Structure formats: structure tokens, C-alpha cells
Amino acid sequence: MPSSAVAASAAGLCEFIDASPSPFHVCRTIAEALETDGFVRLDETRAWPGTGGRYYIVRGGSLVAWADPEQAGPFRVVGAHTDSPNLRVKQHPDLTVAGWQLVRLEPYGGAWLNSWLDRELGISGRLSVREGTGLSERLVRIDEPILRVPQLAIHLSEDRRGVTLDPQRHVNAIWGVGSERAAFLDFVAEAAGVDPRAVLGWELMTHDLAPSRVIGAGRDLISAPRLDNQGTCYAGLAAFRAAVENPGDAVPVLAVFDHEEVGSQSDRGAQSELLPTVLERIVLARGGGRAEFLAAVAGSVCASGDMAHATHPNYPERHEPSHGIDINGGPVLKVNQNLRYATDAVGAGAFALACDRAGVPMQRYVHRADLPCGSTIGPMTAARTGMPTVDVGAPQLAMHSAREMMGAADVTAYAAALAAFLAP
């Protein structure tokens, strides 16, 4: 298997996650890695250079990268998403209740709310800042334990088996006491080194400050936040770098999108024109036209990478019989007959062949028919581009919790399979 894919490791994934508390930081982490390999960031508002280059673009929390050889064939795309469920800051965040200073928070995506209680939380995201008559973007990251959402004491609960959380009332975070505290947004702006009066917009979110860890008596597990879906962003990056150094007969593309957890309907989500536009501009820049673009897409394939459900040892009955998924058992092919996953026979064959070429086992996942199945960027990518698309992932537990778990060996196996997929 390609050397860059072998370099993907559990420790490397932990470092990637800890460097990337928000979708915007995920893109910066990926961009920094790409630039060490000679990639150049392009401006979407300007003309793009022709063939033979290594390029990427960033749009907010989304990034698309590609290596364009002189004799380009169809595309091989690995897609993922950069966002994870969390608690995000409201537009008027300051609140005082019973002498406590609170920050108003709102759940983003399908956050498993109870898992966010009683944790030390930092803040990350981006600010839109006035500069003269224009605007600039400033990333912000506060890795200090400034916020905490406290659990209700068991003695005050109506039901001692657990508290049902109201997302409007019960997930606001304490950040101090008394009445002399500064406005929260002023605090964030000053931490980012900007004048609070110049801040005109923001996308701010909480993140768990406990570092990602390789755990277990045999050091064979990973405990980390945001494995869904930074596990794929990291493996996809390693695979893409490997494919660029060991090219096959296709143009390798890495596409990571924001807003998957809330439906992908934004200017930079997988339902936008971002990926089709980039692919068409690649063809146009090398001198092709609309017909050449359509022909290239017709021969292309996409792997939609998102994390997969490992069989939970405490809840084995919640899984489809005969479809158990093992931690450290290899990448997962995800199939749903009602197209919550995009996998069809062609895509399944392409990924199975990639796993075989990489020398890693492949597992097959089917969701219980009597439980609602989550979805991915796969179906919408297939619909937007017309590419055969296969949904794949690495197995994990506690999906959408503030803290998740996966197997250490699965990191390398996942990256190796994706590298083989990108370089057929």
C-alpha cells in the first residue's frame, strides 16, 4: 500500500483532531498539510492555471483539493464532512439567572445532549471583522475552560434514572458569577486580538478540552471528540496525499464539506454547486469544454466517507443480525435499500476492489429495518454529480456524543483503502 497511507496512525489522528476544533480549523489543518506537499491555494474569483499542478480551494468550512496531471482521465473523489454535532453560541449570548452569568447555546445537528454536561468547554470558530470599508475573516480558538453546562443534582430530579434535557433551557453554559463580567462576544474578540466594535458576524461553537487519547490496556482504541467525521477527514487526507505521489489513471480529488450534520443545504454544503463547479473548472482550465467535462464525470466514481456504527457490546440487540461490525475489523461498506446510503453494486465493487488492493479486510453494514437510518453526503453527491457513489466508513461507538471511540488499527486500514480507491 502507498507509504503516505501507512503513515496514517492513531497518534496522527489524535493530533489532527486536537488541532481542529471547528470546521474552519479542519480546513486550515488540511491546507497546511497540503502546502507542505506543494499545493497552491486558488481564488474562486480568478482564472485558474492549466494542467500539471496541485491545487486546493477553501470556502468557509469546506475544502476541495486535486492534483491535475498533464494527461488527465476521469475523477476519483473521496468526500467527507468537516462539521460535528456540538453546542453553538446564539446571536445574543449573554444571560443572567440567579446570580450566574450564562452564555446562551443552541444544539447543532444531532448532538447527544447529555454527553455535553459537566465538561470543561472552550470556544472556536470564526469572526467576520470590519477592516476599513471591507471585511476580513479571523479564526478564533480559546482552549481555556471558560464554559461548563452543569447537570442537575440527582436529588432535584423527578426521575432518578435520568433528566430529559430541553435544548432551549438546559444547555446554556455557566462562565462566571456576579454582575461585573464583560460581554461574552467582547471577551472572544479580545482573545482573537481584534477590536470588539469591529466584529460584525460570527460562527462560534464549543469544544471539549480533554485531549484525544490512544487508550486501552493494549493501546488499541482511540477516545476523542469529533471522530464523526474528522476520522474520515484525516484518513482521506492521508489517502489523497498517497494517491498524488502514486497516481493511477484518474484525477484524485479530496472534497470535505461543512453542514452535513444539518442537511448540507448551504453555499458550501454537499448539496451546493461547490463540487460540480470545481470539477468543471478543472476541465475548463486544461482546455476542455462542457462535453469533455460531462465525459469525465461519466467515468468518475466517488467514495462518500463517513463513520460507521460498530456493534455495541452493551446493546447488541440494536444492530441488524448477521451484520455485526467489529472495531479494528477494517473499513465498512454501508448499504441501505432506501438510499439513505448511495451504495449500489458498481460502487460496492469499486470499494471492495480497493480494499483487496490495499490488503485490508472489508465489512458490510446494514441498519436495522425498524430503526431510522442516518444519512451522509453520498446520496446528494450522487444526485448532484451523476457519479456512481459508494458510502464507506470506519467503525466507531458513541456517534454524536461529545466523546467518541474507534479502533486504533482502523485508522491505517481506512486510509489505505481510500488511497487504493483514489489511485485505481
- Any residues with CB less than 8 A from the CB of 411 and at least 6 apart, and which? 8, 9, 10, 12, 13, 222, 231, 234, 235, 394
Helices (H), ranges, 256-361: 274-285, 290-298, 345-358
What H or E segment, with its residue span, contains residue 410?
helix 408-422
Number of CB atoms found within 10 A of residue 402's CB = 24
Long-range Cβ pairs for the range 136-145 (8 Å, 24+)? 138/192, 138/193, 138/194, 139/22, 139/24, 139/25, 139/28, 139/192, 140/188, 140/191, 140/192, 140/204, 141/21, 141/22, 141/25, 142/188, 142/191, 143/21, 143/209, 144/209, 145/120, 145/121, 145/209
Q: If you average pLDDT over residues 254-263, what whole number do you get?
A: 97
Q: Sorting pLDDT into bands at 50, 70 and 90, what band is 1?
A: very low
Task: Report residue 243 as a C-alpha cell.
Answer: 494517491
Grid cell at residue 221: 482504541
pLDDT tens per residue, range 222-250: 999 999 999 999 999 999 999 999 888 89
Q: Give 327-352 pLDDT, tens digit per residue.
A: 999 999 999 999 999 999 999 999 99
Mean pLDDT of 175-191: 90
Residue 180 pLDDT level (bands cut at 50, 70, 90): confident
Please count the other Cβ atoms lying within 10 Å of the Cβ belonging to residue 175.
Answer: 20
Distance CA 24, CA 413 (A): 27
Q: What is the pTM of this model?
A: 0.96
Among 106, 370, 31, 126, smallest CA distance to 262 is for 106
Distance of CA 318 to the CA centre of its chain: 25
Distance CA 213, CA 224 (A): 6
Give the integer Cα–Cα distance in Å for 336 and 375: 9
- Look at the alpha carbons of 365, 266, 201, 232 in this order and tell me if their dihedral is positive or negative: positive
Say if residue 286's pLDDT is above 90: no
CB 236 within 8 A of CB 302: no
User: CA Rg, the chain, in Å?
Assistant: 22
The pLDDT tens digits for 18-71 are: 999 999 999 999 999 999 999 999 999 999 998 779 999 999 999 999 998 766
- Determine how many CB atoms are found less than 10 A away from the CB of residue 30: 25
User: What region does 312 belong to: left with phi over 0, alpha with psi -120 to 50, or beta?
Assistant: beta
pLDDT of amino acid 407: 98
Q: Which residues are annotated as a binding site?
A: 81, 155, 400
Q: All 3 cell numbers of residue 150? A: 452543569
Q: Among 14-23, 198-207, 279-288, 399-408, which stretch is predicted with the lowest mean pLDDT?
A: 279-288
**3-state class of 177 per DSSP?**
strand
- Known binding-site positions for Zn(2+): 81, 155, 400
